[in-house]
Amino acid sequence: MSLDAKLLFISKSKPQGADTSLSLASKQVLHEVYEKFASENKFSDESLLRLYGIFGSTFERALELYELARVKKICVKSEPGNSVNDARWLLQVTGISGEIYTLFPEVNFCSCASFRYRVLNDQAEHTCKHILAAWLSSVDNKKLSVQEIASPLFRDLMRFHVTF
Protein backbone atom coordinates (compact mmCIF):
# COMPACT_ATOMS: atom_id res chain seq x y z
CA MET A 1 0.00 0.00 0.00
CA SER A 2 1.39 3.39 -0.98
CA LEU A 3 1.87 5.86 1.83
CA ASP A 4 2.91 8.71 -0.47
CA ALA A 5 -0.24 8.48 -2.55
CA LYS A 6 -2.23 11.29 -0.99
CA LEU A 7 -4.48 12.30 -3.80
CA LEU A 8 -6.38 15.46 -4.46
CA PHE A 9 -8.85 16.45 -1.76
CA ILE A 10 -9.16 12.83 -0.73
CA SER A 11 -6.17 12.67 1.56
CA LYS A 12 -5.50 9.57 3.62
CA SER A 13 -4.58 11.67 6.62
CA LYS A 14 -7.20 12.33 9.27
CA PRO A 15 -9.40 15.28 8.19
CA GLN A 16 -9.00 18.59 10.01
CA GLY A 17 -10.90 21.84 9.73
CA ALA A 18 -13.45 23.02 7.21
CA ASP A 19 -13.01 22.29 3.52
CA THR A 20 -15.33 23.53 0.81
CA SER A 21 -14.46 20.76 -1.66
CA LEU A 22 -15.79 17.90 0.45
CA SER A 23 -17.70 17.76 3.70
CA LEU A 24 -15.82 16.87 6.85
CA ALA A 25 -18.11 13.86 7.32
CA SER A 26 -17.24 12.58 3.83
CA LYS A 27 -13.53 13.05 4.47
CA GLN A 28 -13.93 11.15 7.72
CA VAL A 29 -15.55 8.21 5.90
CA LEU A 30 -12.75 8.20 3.31
CA HIS A 31 -10.18 8.20 6.09
CA GLU A 32 -11.96 5.31 7.84
CA VAL A 33 -12.16 3.32 4.59
CA TYR A 34 -8.43 3.86 4.10
CA GLU A 35 -7.68 2.74 7.67
CA LYS A 36 -9.86 -0.36 7.28
CA PHE A 37 -8.13 -1.23 4.01
CA ALA A 38 -4.75 -0.81 5.71
CA SER A 39 -5.71 -3.34 8.38
CA GLU A 40 -7.54 -5.85 6.15
CA ASN A 41 -5.69 -5.34 2.85
CA LYS A 42 -9.00 -5.26 0.96
CA PHE A 43 -12.06 -3.08 0.53
CA SER A 44 -14.80 -4.59 2.68
CA ASP A 45 -18.41 -4.68 1.53
CA GLU A 46 -19.21 -2.26 4.34
CA SER A 47 -16.57 0.19 3.09
CA LEU A 48 -17.83 0.00 -0.48
CA LEU A 49 -21.40 0.62 0.68
CA ARG A 50 -20.29 3.63 2.71
CA LEU A 51 -18.50 5.09 -0.32
CA TYR A 52 -21.58 4.45 -2.45
CA GLY A 53 -23.66 6.23 0.18
CA ILE A 54 -21.53 9.36 -0.24
CA PHE A 55 -20.84 9.37 -3.98
CA GLY A 56 -23.71 7.30 -5.45
CA SER A 57 -23.49 6.47 -9.15
CA THR A 58 -20.22 8.41 -9.47
CA PHE A 59 -18.69 5.83 -7.14
CA GLU A 60 -20.14 2.95 -9.21
CA ARG A 61 -18.45 4.31 -12.34
CA ALA A 62 -15.21 4.91 -10.41
CA LEU A 63 -15.27 1.34 -9.13
CA GLU A 64 -15.51 0.09 -12.71
CA LEU A 65 -12.41 2.09 -13.72
CA TYR A 66 -10.58 0.83 -10.63
CA GLU A 67 -11.51 -2.81 -11.29
CA LEU A 68 -10.35 -2.46 -14.91
CA ALA A 69 -6.99 -1.11 -13.62
CA ARG A 70 -7.28 2.11 -15.63
CA VAL A 71 -5.07 4.19 -13.31
CA LYS A 72 -1.37 4.77 -13.89
CA LYS A 73 1.09 6.57 -11.63
CA ILE A 74 3.80 8.41 -13.56
CA CYS A 75 6.86 9.37 -11.56
CA VAL A 76 10.37 10.63 -12.17
CA LYS A 77 13.03 7.95 -12.32
CA SER A 78 15.30 8.00 -9.29
CA GLU A 79 18.63 9.56 -10.08
CA PRO A 80 21.79 9.48 -7.95
CA GLY A 81 21.85 12.39 -5.53
CA ASN A 82 18.08 12.91 -5.44
CA SER A 83 16.43 12.72 -2.06
CA VAL A 84 13.02 11.24 -1.34
CA ASN A 85 11.72 14.81 -1.13
CA ASP A 86 12.55 15.27 -4.82
CA ALA A 87 9.86 12.74 -5.75
CA ARG A 88 7.51 14.04 -8.42
CA TRP A 89 4.49 12.16 -9.67
CA LEU A 90 1.04 12.44 -11.16
CA LEU A 91 -1.75 10.04 -12.01
CA GLN A 92 -3.41 9.32 -15.32
CA VAL A 93 -6.80 7.67 -15.60
CA THR A 94 -7.90 6.18 -18.89
CA GLY A 95 -11.64 6.61 -19.19
CA ILE A 96 -13.98 4.04 -20.71
CA SER A 97 -13.88 6.05 -23.97
CA GLY A 98 -10.07 5.80 -24.05
CA GLU A 99 -9.55 9.45 -23.16
CA ILE A 100 -6.67 10.02 -20.71
CA TYR A 101 -7.21 12.36 -17.76
CA THR A 102 -4.19 13.66 -15.87
CA LEU A 103 -4.62 14.28 -12.15
CA PHE A 104 -2.26 16.13 -9.86
CA PRO A 105 -1.58 15.24 -6.21
CA GLU A 106 -3.70 17.11 -3.66
CA VAL A 107 -5.79 18.85 -6.36
CA ASN A 108 -9.49 18.12 -6.80
CA PHE A 109 -9.68 18.87 -10.51
CA CYS A 110 -10.24 16.78 -13.61
CA SER A 111 -10.53 17.99 -17.19
CA CYS A 112 -13.52 15.72 -17.91
CA ALA A 113 -16.91 17.15 -18.87
CA SER A 114 -18.59 15.61 -15.83
CA PHE A 115 -16.27 17.47 -13.46
CA ARG A 116 -16.84 20.72 -15.32
CA TYR A 117 -20.63 20.45 -15.32
CA ARG A 118 -21.57 18.34 -12.27
CA VAL A 119 -18.87 19.59 -9.86
CA LEU A 120 -17.97 23.12 -10.95
CA ASN A 121 -21.17 24.40 -12.58
CA ASP A 122 -24.05 22.56 -10.87
CA GLN A 123 -22.20 21.71 -7.65
CA ALA A 124 -24.26 18.50 -7.63
CA GLU A 125 -21.22 16.26 -7.02
CA HIS A 126 -18.06 16.54 -4.93
CA THR A 127 -15.83 15.06 -7.61
CA CYS A 128 -15.79 12.80 -10.68
CA LYS A 129 -15.29 9.09 -11.31
CA HIS A 130 -11.69 9.60 -12.48
CA ILE A 131 -10.61 11.14 -9.18
CA LEU A 132 -12.40 8.47 -7.14
CA ALA A 133 -10.89 5.69 -9.28
CA ALA A 134 -7.45 7.22 -8.73
CA TRP A 135 -8.07 7.33 -4.98
CA LEU A 136 -9.17 3.68 -4.89
CA SER A 137 -6.09 2.67 -6.89
CA SER A 138 -3.75 4.70 -4.72
CA VAL A 139 -5.09 2.93 -1.64
CA ASP A 140 -4.79 -0.52 -3.25
CA ASN A 141 -1.55 -0.51 -5.23
CA LYS A 142 -2.35 -3.89 -6.81
CA LYS A 143 -4.51 -2.17 -9.42
CA LEU A 144 -2.11 0.76 -9.93
CA SER A 145 0.42 0.53 -12.73
CA VAL A 146 3.59 2.60 -12.33
CA GLN A 147 5.65 4.16 -15.09
CA GLU A 148 8.98 5.82 -14.34
CA ILE A 149 10.18 8.44 -16.79
CA ALA A 150 13.23 10.70 -17.03
CA SER A 151 13.02 14.14 -15.44
CA PRO A 152 13.05 16.10 -18.76
CA LEU A 153 10.19 13.98 -20.10
CA PHE A 154 8.21 14.50 -16.90
CA ARG A 155 8.80 18.26 -17.18
CA ASP A 156 7.47 18.19 -20.75
CA LEU A 157 4.43 16.21 -19.64
CA MET A 158 3.72 18.78 -16.93
CA ARG A 159 4.07 21.67 -19.38
CA PHE A 160 1.61 20.04 -21.77
CA HIS A 161 -1.04 19.54 -19.09
CA VAL A 162 -0.58 22.86 -17.33
CA THR A 163 -0.89 24.95 -20.50
CA PHE A 164 -4.01 23.41 -22.07
Per-residue pLDDT of the chain (164 residues; tens, 9 = 90+): 443 444 444 554 544 443 335 677 778 888 999 999 999 999 999 999 999 999 999 999 999 999 999 999 998 887 666 555 455 888 999 999 999 999 988 788 999 999 999 999 998 988 999 999 999 999 998 999 998 888 888 888 777 765 44
| Pairing, β 89-94 against β 144-149 | unpaired
Its pTM stands at 0.80
